Amino acid sequence: MALRITKGYKQLLAEAEGMVTAITVDQARDLLHRDDHVFIDLRDVREVQREGGIPGAKLCPRGMLEFWIDPESPYHKPLFAEDKTFVFFCAAAWRSALAARTAIEMGLNPVVHIAGGFTAWRDAGMEVERRDAKPRPESAAAPAAS
């Protein structure tokens, strides 16, 4: 007997998109170099190596987001405690919509995401930062054992 899920990814995405503000590539470009905004690249390290990234964006692999946001987590990153607007993106805006929803539910605010993701950014001819060397996530080291 096949396992029946009760909520599929399309419904999860629709719910997230109803809760999270999506900004256009042009809006994102205008925010890129502002001190009160930080761009968070949720893609896998291999994607960033292969495709490049938005200049200055901080890499936060999607699987670590909740742990990096929570100040009680041993993996917490101080970046997420800063008083800034967080601009999330991934390849096509699916992961970023879901991640932004989760971040908002955790109390991180304000959070927006880029409609169309990095693909829309690149296809619009925006600047892409090549990352040929293996990029390290924002302080990827595990915390010291206590």
Contact indicator for 111, 20 with CB cutoff of 8 Å: yes
Whether 90 contacts 114, CB under 8 Å = no
Whether the CB-CB separation of 57 and 40 falls below 8 Å is answered with: yes
The candidate with the shortest Cα–Cα distance to 94, out of 38, 32, 24, 16, is 16
* Of 76, 81, 62, 69, residue with least CA distance to 106: 69
Domain boundaries, the chain: 21-123
Per-residue pLDDT of the chain (146 residues; tens, 9 = 90+): 678 899 999 999 999 999 999 999 999 999 999 999 999 999 999 999 999 999 999 999 999 999 999 999 999 999 999 999 999 999 999 999 999 999 999 999 999 999 999 999 999 999 999 976 554 555 444 454 44
Query: Closest Cα to residue 96, out of 70, 123, 114?
Result: 114
Q: pLDDT at position 146, please?
A: 42
Phi-psi region of 56 (alpha: psi -120 to 50; beta: other; left: phi over 0): left
pLDDT at 137: 55
Superfamily of domain 21-123: Rhodanese-like domain (3.40.250.10)
CB 99 within 8 A of CB 88: yes
**Whole-number CA gyration radius for the chain:** 16
* Predicted local distance difference test score (pLDDT) of residue 145: 45
pTM of the model: 0.86
User: DSSP character for 107?
Assistant: T
Residues 6+ apart with CB under 8 A from 135: 45, 48, 49, 53, 59
* Residue 14 DSSP code: H
The predicted pLDDT at position 18 comes to: 95
